Amino acid sequence: MRNVIIIGSGCAGNTAAVYAARANLKPLVVGGHEPGGQLSITSLVENFPGFPEGIQGPELVENIRRQAEHFGAEFTHGSVIEADLRTRPFRLNIDGEWQPARTVIIATGASARWLNLPNEQKLIGHGVSSCATCDGFFYRGKKVMVIGGGDTAMEEANFLTRFASEVAVVHRRDDFRASKIMLDRARANSKIKFLTNTVVDDVHDINHGAVTAVTLRNVKTGETWQRDVDGFFVAIGHIPNTKPFAGQVELDDEGYIVDHGNATTNIPGVFHAGDVQDRLYRQAITAAGMGCMAAIAAERFLETEGH
């Protein structure tokens, strides 16, 4: 019987593991399909406190893992495919094997939606991004493109004008899901240009290992053309990884975990940490902070139960 099983090995899960392990709870961390989480697919991270020169994303998250292992956390491969959180002890089906646990920390993140262009994944961290807050700083005086027509896309576009010389917003329709206020703000910004009824066919150039241009297509006329850009920001939403917990853990209409205060969920003994609940900040440091909160909450919960 595990005191705590942490689901997810990103910043949130690994930080929860550091705290749970130092509290002598011997946590088990289930790594999931993306060991190390989203930071494992990026390059330089410049906004995680403590690294004045920045640090590579994979190195940062691996360091947190090693720190947790040093204090006795155990990591396992595989994913939670099913969860029984109705009765206690809780039970998690990890790739076909059921594991009982007194407490569970869900730190499964929210995956960015991508456009699935032929070269997109190869250029993530090399000009392709899903986070203006994270990467905008790299594009001082450069040309960037934002894909999307919702509030997030408008917010990212406005934010990027602080750095970029030009921000092109590409949207497949000519009407926008974004709220009027966000759209008006973007339209009033002289650095933002709109390309509507337009989709991206691909992003280039994998031979240079950096974004240099995109191929665009007008969906009404079928015309295609290339446009030079240095940064390519996909802002078409995120998918919270909560499928195994649906119907038990309370989720909002987009599938994010609903916070019941101090990292708790609607189920006593089941906690959340990181982007799986946080649709607002989506940062490595906030995910790590929430991992700390969830582990301390789990520890106190176990203590009140005499473990």
Ligand X SMILES: Cc1cc2nc3c(=O)[nH]c(=O)nc-3n(C[C@H](O)[C@H](O)[C@H](O)COP(=O)(O)OP(=O)(O)OC[C@H]3O[C@@H](n4cnc5c(N)ncnc54)[C@H](O)[C@@H]3O)c2cc1C
Which of 11, 84, 131, 253 is labelled catalytic? Answer: 131
Pairing of strands 238-240, 110-112: antiparallel
Contacting range for ligand X; rule: CB under 6 A; set: 124-132, 149-157, 199-207, 256-264: 124-132
User: What is the DSSP-derived secondary structure letter of residue 113?
Assistant: P
Residue 189 to residues 27, 108, 148: CA-CA distances in angstroms? Answer: 50, 37, 17
Position 263 contacts ligand X (CB under 6 A): no
Token output for 6: 């942490």
Q: What distance in Å separates the CA atoms of residue 26 and residue 42, rounded to the nearest whole number?
A: 29
User: Which of 4, 12, 104, 211 is in the footprint of ligand X by CB under 6 A?
Assistant: 12
Ordered strands of the 213-218 beta sheet: 198-204, 213-218, 224-228
Token output for 265: 């969920």
Task: Decide if 135 is catalytic.
Answer: yes
* Three-state DSSP state, 179: coil
Burial status of residue 181 (CB atoms within 10 A of its CB: 0-12, 13-18, 19 or more):
exposed
Count residues binding ligand X (CB under 6 A): 43
Nearer to ligand X, 58 or 72 (CB): 58
CB atoms within 10 A of CB 47: 13
User: Which of 2, 3, 6, 10 is in the footprint of ligand X by CB under 6 A?
Assistant: 10
Position 277 contacts ligand X (CB under 6 A): no
Token output for 73: 């956390």
Nearer to ligand X, 199 or 288 (CB): 288
Smallest gap, in angstroms, from Cβ of residue 206 to ligand X? 16
| Sites for ligand X among residues 170-229 (CB under 6 A) | none
Token output for 200: 């991206």
Position 265 contacts ligand X (CB under 6 A): no
Nearer to ligand X, 3 or 14 (CB): 14
| Sites for ligand X among residues 28-87 (CB under 6 A) | 30-35, 37-39, 41-42, 45, 47-48, 79-80
Closest listed residue to residue 11, CA positions, set 79, 76, 58, 75: 58
Catalogue the active-site residues.
131, 134-135
Residue ranges binding ligand X (CB under 6 A):
7-13, 30-35, 37-39, 41-42, 45, 47-48, 79-80, 107-109, 112, 124-125, 129-131, 134, 241, 244, 274-276, 282-285, 287
